[in-house]
Structure 1
Amino acid sequence: MGANKEKNETCGTICLKYLLFTFNFLFWLAGGAVMAVGIWTLVEKSDYISLLSSKIYAVSAYILIMAGVIVMVTGVLGCCATFKEQRRLLRVYFVLLLCIFLLEILAGVLAYIYYQQLNEELKENLRETMVQKYHQPEQDHVTKAVDKLQQEFKCCGSNSSSDWMESVWIRSIKADRRSVPDSCCKNPVIKLCGRRDHPSNIYKVEGGCITKLENFILNHLQIIGAVGVGIACVQVS
């Protein structure tokens, strides 16, 4: 009877080990997904980040990447701790779980906070950035971001194409009598197409680029917040 009891305990222990191994493997995959979301956000937004005065958006993405890396390390550590049954590894494992939980909650909270203040920030800063920094010395990253923004979202100017009338570059001789940058044109390959400020030639979008950029970033912030808080809730459950 003692032998049967020992055998049952052994079977139970083995099953528990494999169950924990499966959990840690899935946890490792989840870490890869979290890290991928963070990297995707930064790569997708790398140009547009230069148009934002606040760094909260970028910080949220970096936190997700950090959390993803720690999750993957924790998953491997959890597998080792399960099979080797080392208490020290298990302690480190649970400390890392706590760090991951806090990082993911922080990323979610930051994304939510920035979600609330994004509209005001864009209203206050996007137009100023466009008219003051476009095609200015040491502002190539801003110029590239603005051109990409206007072409990808088919818009012109912060609120409207008339914003470019205040541009430092448009007012200079370097603009070569353009009314708007060539990136506002529906067919930007035509040389000096920005000279003709007409709806048939340039994008005339209600709300300008602010509305387009805001919607784009808000969608990504929702993803960041959902991933961060969602994975944290899975850990708790």
Structure 2
Amino acid sequence: MVLMKMKFPFEKRVKLAQGLWLLSWVATLAGAFTFTLGCFLKTELRRRSEVMDNTEIHVVPNTMMLVSLASLGINYFAGRICQDALDAGRFPRWKAFMKPYWGVSLFFTLLMLITVVMSYAMKGNLESSLKIGLKNGIRFYKDTDTPGRCFQKQTIDRLQMEFKCCGNTDYKDWFEVQWISNRYLDFNSKEVKDRVKSNVDGRYLFDGVPFSCCNPSSPRPCIQDHLTNNSAHYNYEHQTEELNIYIRGCREALVNYYMGLMNSIGAGVLSVFLLQLSVLVSLRYLQTAMELVAGQENTEVQTEGYLLEKSVKETIMEYVNPVLAFLQLNQVGSEDGSAEAGPTPAR
């Protein structure tokens, strides 16, 4: 059953070939733009790799770069086919090439759509990755002398100042860890001794935050120590006064930043997907319309083009069956090899 049949006079075929040639080069530029977006997203993710626990989120930019490179090849050959489309003598040389071309093109076009879906669906993975990564980053904040963690303090401070955030969930996360190194604590001080002894793990915990949590737009000098002690500061009320440190947690700030970035990129990739789909649909009509002209002396006759020669199910199975047969053949071959080898005789 032929699907979406259309009639193509000679003039219409010429316009289709010319328009498709231009569209294929626009899609090529769009593919290059998509590759640039993928590189930018991957760079942004790698910049914060120290506060991320896993690399699963990198599947989005990696897939984006892969499909964009594939689209360059797909659109290049689409342009070449358009150049030969109106030459009845040169067009038949593409006939053997078209079936694998369609298989590869449809695979990477669908993969582009999957990339768009993933860019909107990775919020859970991103949030869990940042939750663990930021927790470890805050815990190792004081280890400036430990190899591999020397720049952890600098990373966290820059992060909090750049995104105007404090802690993992909020500023109280700093109350639960010792973020001041022992080398900067005076253990002769009674206050330090009491705080260390009062903790089961022997850590120095107090209600303070690093300087990078301070909000420079606050009208009063930054209060970063004894945040919950009203009597430690003049005219200060912890429960009612607006704190002059950042209230928002860095996990929320980073999730909003990256999801905004991926949503914007996802919208751009979706536009490229629709453009790529338009190229493939137009090329399919041009191919089927020209197949009826190939070999004829009069190439200006009216022809018919269609999207699918068979039903959708039959078309899919036409591509899937050779792959299944190839896999089954390999499986049978490996089983025969195992059977021929047989068990090793006992000595």
Q: CA deviation at 1:167?
A: 4.1
Instruction: Output the CA distance in 2 between the equivalents of 1:181 and 1:39.
Output: 33
- Which residue of 2 is the match for residue 205 of structure 1? 246
Residues in 2 aligned to 1:37 and 1:229: alpha-carbon distance in whole angstroms: 13
Task: Quote the residue 1:65 is aligned against.
Answer: 65
Higher relative contact order (CA 8 A, sep 6+): 2
* Structure 1 counterpart of 2:318: none
Please name the residue that 2:118 is paired with.
110
Corresponding residue of 1:160: 170
1:103-182 correspondence to structure 2 within 5 Å: 103-123=111-131, 125-134=132-141, 135=144, 136-139=146-149, 142-167=152-177, 169-173=179-183, 180-182=209-211
1:221 alignment counterpart = 262
* Shift in alpha-carbon separation, 1:138–1:233, aligned structure 2, 3 A: same
Q: In structure 2, what is the equivalent of residue 3 of structure 1?
A: none
Structure 1 residues 89 and 17: CA distance shift in structure 2, 3 A: farther
Q: SS in structure 2 opposite 1:46?
A: helix
TM-superposed CA distance for 1:24, in Å, is 0.5
Evaluate the alpha carbon distance shift between residue 45 and residue 142 of structure 1 in structure 2; reply closer, same or farther with a 3 A threshold.
Answer: farther
- Higher helix proportion, which one? 1
- Describe the shift of the 1:203–1:99 C-alpha distance in structure 2 as closer, same or farther (beyond 3 A): farther
CA distance in 2, matches of 1:140, 1:223: 35
Contact 1:77 1:89 in 2 (8 A): no
**Does the C-alpha gap of structure 1 residues 73 and 172 become closer, same or farther in structure 2, counting only changes over 3 Å?**
farther
Q: State the shift of 1:143 in Å.
A: 4.6
* Contact 2:24 2:75 survives alignment (8 Å): yes
Could you list the runs of 5+ residues in structure 2 that have no partner in the other structure? 1-8, 85-90, 187-191, 193-207, 217-221, 228-242, 279-347
* Partners of 1:38 and 1:62 within 8 A in 2: yes
Matches within 5 A, 1:17-32: 17-32=17-32
Amino acid aligned to 2:50: S
Percent of residue pairs bearing the same amino acid type: 23
Cα pair 1:169 1:175 within 8 Å, conserved: no
Map Cα deviations across residues 156-177 of structure 1 (whole Å, 9 max, x no partner): 2223334334445524326899
CA change 1:15–1:127 in 2 (3 A) is closer
Report the RMSD for the aligned CA atoms in angstroms: 3.6
State the one-letter code of the partner of 2:115: A
Q: Distance in 1 between matches of 2:83 and 2:152?
A: 52
Alpha-carbon distance between aligned partners in 1 of 2:62 and 2:26, rounded to the nearest angstrom = 22
| CA 1:222–1:148: 2 relative to 1, 3 Å | same
Between stretches 149-158 and 160-169, larger displacement belongs to 160-169
Q: Hey, what's the Cα distance between the residues in 2 that align with 1:141 and 1:106?
A: 37
Please identify, of 70-79 and 47-56, the stretch whose mean Cα deviation from structure 2 is larger.
47-56
Deviation string, structure 1 residues 91-122 (Cα, Å, up to 9, x no partner): 45423321322321232232233124544554
* 8 Å Cα contact 2:211/2:224 also seen in 1: no
Letter in 2 for 1:107: T
Q: Once the 2 structures are TM-superposed, how far is the Cα of residue 53 of structure 1 from its aligned partner?
A: 2.2
Contact 1:127 1:163 in 2 (8 A): no
1: CA distance, partners of 2:273 / 2:20: 18
Q: Which structure has the greater CA radius of gyration?
A: 2
User: Size of the alignment, in residue pairs?
Assistant: 221
- Larger mean CA deviation between 31-40 and 112-121 belongs to 112-121
Cα distance in 1, alignment partners of residues 13 and 275 from structure 2: 24
Give the unaligned 5+ runs of structure 1.
Answer: 1-7, 188-193
TM-score, structure 1 length as denominator? 0.73
